[in-house]
Amino acid sequence: MAREVGRAVVRARVLIRPKAGILDPQGQTVERALPALGFEGVRNVHVGRLIELDVDDPARLPEMCEALLANPLIEDYSIETPDP
């Protein structure tokens, strides 16, 4: 846990990926490219993004995800914070 002038700051990770059934053109491109490079046996590739941030109040992370970090219509997200 990082410290910032007397108050605890939590390092959080937010993993964002396309919802099931949503077109993932980047994942499809990777899925086609891997066999072309000699990596066989790869399927169902999905590309997402990882956001790391330091927050004072980790309880507000879902609100941040819904408002800005993820597009809740087409993306799912999961939040990782260190155990207290």
Q: Which residue has the higher pLDDT, 1 or 64?
A: 64
Average pLDDT, the chain: 92
Residues 69 and 51: beta-carbon distance below 8 Å: yes
pTM: 0.80
In this structure, what DSSP letter does residue 19 have? P
The per-residue pLDDT for 6 is 59
The per-residue pLDDT for 1 is 45
Position 75, amino acid: E
Buried b (16+ CB within 10 A) or exposed e, 53-62: eeeeebeebe
Angle at 17 between CA 11 and CA 20, to 5 degrees: 145
* Structural domains of the chain, ranges and CATH numbers in brackets: 2-80 (3.30.1280.10)
pLDDT one-digit tens code per residue, 12-43: 999 999 999 999 999 999 999 999 999 999 99
